[in-house]
């Protein structure tokens, strides 16, 4: 029996090695934890088209929204670690979801292979064009004079906009009220309808709506002013310690064979270096980072350290483990 087992191993090991060296030999799936049409979906489809070319196999985008991006993340974390199921990651699925939701059944650092960080992007803090609030200082002054009466919207609980708003509330010592929406579009609609007084919106939509005369841009949530909008101040310039970029990354289940993870990491970084990809992503206000897997893991660890005290101070961890 022992000799038979050794013989079987001798036969199967070369087959397994050959299968890994032939990767990929069939189509791949790229799971997006948000509905179609959002920024994550747009980035995923842009990269999937380039992966098709580089990998020689189709990459099919599959949208699996729900539970603040954690359902899709759990699905990928439990998938076979063969490189054929990939995930577009973002702040809610990797950092804030596990910090705030006791129903999350995955460890974002140990149950996933983080292949590459794609980029980061800020939100714009906006008000309606006819609002008397013309700056972050005006917003703070209004909130202090009218505690509990300024409602601000975000794309959802645990989103970068939500957490940045909580940072602003804590650092400025003001009483503003968060309203969570199921995406950026309904939050923006309520801003225009007057149901909320301020909103954290994606840069590309905010800029377009400002040009159309619908909203006023107050500030950007990045640490530094954007090269593409040098006249737009940061929130940080008025209230120290308030910044909150969101980000995108590429991940797969933990336990990938080394050659498969290296191939996928290299392909992601190759795609991000293409001029047309860079141009399209930069048009959305994204800063392309292109971090390798190990660098990306360190970035995630630092982001968890950054947001944990904010989550606790804002009492967003009441449903956490």
Sign for the pseudo-dihedral over CA of 124, 310, 70, 290: positive
Residue 113 pLDDT: 98
Using CA of residue 101, residue 203, residue 222, residue 88, what is the dihedral sign? positive
| 8 Å CB contact between 176 and 260 | no
Q: Which residues contact 15 (CB under 8 A, 6 or more apart)?
A: none
Mean pLDDT over 233-252 rounds to 94
The pTM for the full model equals 0.81
3-state secondary structure the chain: CHHHHHHHHHHHHHHHHHHHHCCCCCCEEEEECCCCCCHHHHHHHHHHHHHHHHHCCCEEEEECCCHHHHHHHHHHHCCCCCCCEEEEEEHHHHHHHHHHCCCCCCCCCCCEEEEEEEEEECEEEEEECCCCCCCHHHHHHHHHHCCCCEEEEECCCCCHHHHHHHHHHHHHCCCEEEEECCCHHHHHHHHHHCCCCEEEEEHHHHHHHHHCCCEEEEEECCCCCECCECCCCEHHHCCCCCCCCEEEEEEEECCCCHHHHHHHHHHHHHHHCCHHHHHHHHHCCCEEEEEEHHHHHHHHHHHHHHHHHHHHHCCCCCCCC
Q: What is the mean pLDDT of residues 51-64?
A: 94
Instruction: Yes or no: say if 35 and 71 are a contact pair by the CB < 8 Å rule.
Output: no
Structure tokens at 38: 């959002």
* Between residues 117 and 227, the one the model is more confident about: 117
My answer on whether omega of the bond before 138 falls inside 30° of 0, hence cis, is no
- pLDDT band with cut points at 50, 70 and 90 for residue 9: low
> What's the pLDDT tens digit per position in 174-230?
999 999 887 788 899 999 999 999 999 888 788 889 999 999 999 999 989 988 889
Q: Percent of the chain scored above 70 by pLDDT? A: 92
- Assess whether pLDDT exceeds 80 at residue 66: yes
What pLDDT, on a 0 to 100 scale, did the predictor assign at position 63?
94
Q: How far is 77 from 87, CA to CA, in rounded Å?
A: 9
Query: Which two three-digit tokens encode residue 127?
Result: 């008000």
Over residues 124-183, the pLDDT tens digits come to: 999 999 999 999 999 999 999 999 999 999 887 788 899 999 999 999 999 999 998 877
Q: pLDDT category, 246, cuts 50, 70, 90?
A: confident
> Which pLDDT does position 234 carry in this prediction?
97
Residue 244 to residue 234: CA distance in whole angstroms: 11
Instruction: Please give the domain boundaries of the chain with CATH numbers for all domains.
Output: 12-121+245-313 (3.40.190.150), 123-237 (3.40.190.10)
Average pLDDT over residues 239-253: 94
């Amino acid at each position: 029996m022992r000799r038979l087992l050794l013989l079987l191993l001798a036969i199967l090991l070369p087959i397994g090695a050959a299968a890994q060296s032939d990767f990929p030999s069939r189509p791949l799936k790229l799971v997006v934890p948000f509905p179609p049409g959002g920024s994550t979906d747009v980035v995923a489809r842009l990269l999937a088209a380039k992966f098709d070319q580089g990998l020689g196999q189709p990459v099919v985008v599959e949208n699996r929204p729900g539970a603040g991006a954690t359902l899709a993340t759990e699905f990928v974390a439990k998938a076979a670690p063969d490189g054929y199921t990939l995930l577009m990651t973002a702040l809610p699925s990797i950092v804030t979801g596990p910090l705030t939701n006791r129903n999350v059944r995955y460890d974002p650092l140990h149950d996933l292979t983080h292949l590459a960080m794609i980029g980061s992007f800020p939100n714009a803090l906006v008000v309606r064009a006819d609002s008397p609030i013309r700056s972050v200082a005006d917003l703070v002054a209004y909130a202090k004079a009218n505690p509990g009466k300024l409602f601000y919207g975000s794309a959802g609980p645990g989103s970068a906009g939500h957490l940045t708003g909580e940072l602003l509330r804590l650092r400025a010592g003001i009483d503003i009220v968060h309203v969570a929406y199921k995406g950026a579009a309904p939050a923006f609609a309520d801003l225009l309808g007057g149901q909320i007084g301020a909103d954290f919106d994606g840069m590309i939509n905010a800029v377009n709506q400002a040009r159309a005369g619908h909203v006023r841009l107050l500030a950007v949530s990045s640490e530094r002013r954007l090269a593409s909008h040098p006249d737009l101040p940061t929130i940080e310039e008025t209230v120290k310690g308030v910044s909150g970029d969101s980000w995108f990354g590429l991940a797969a289940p933990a336990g990938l064979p080394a050659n498969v993870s290296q191939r996928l990491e290299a392909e992601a970084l190759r795609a991000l270096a293409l001029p047309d990809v860079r141009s399209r992503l930069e048009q959305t206000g994204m800063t392309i980072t292109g971090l390798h897997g190990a660098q990306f893991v360190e970035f995630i660890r630092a982001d968890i350290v950054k947001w944990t005290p904010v989550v606790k101070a804002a009492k967003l961890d009441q449903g956490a483990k």
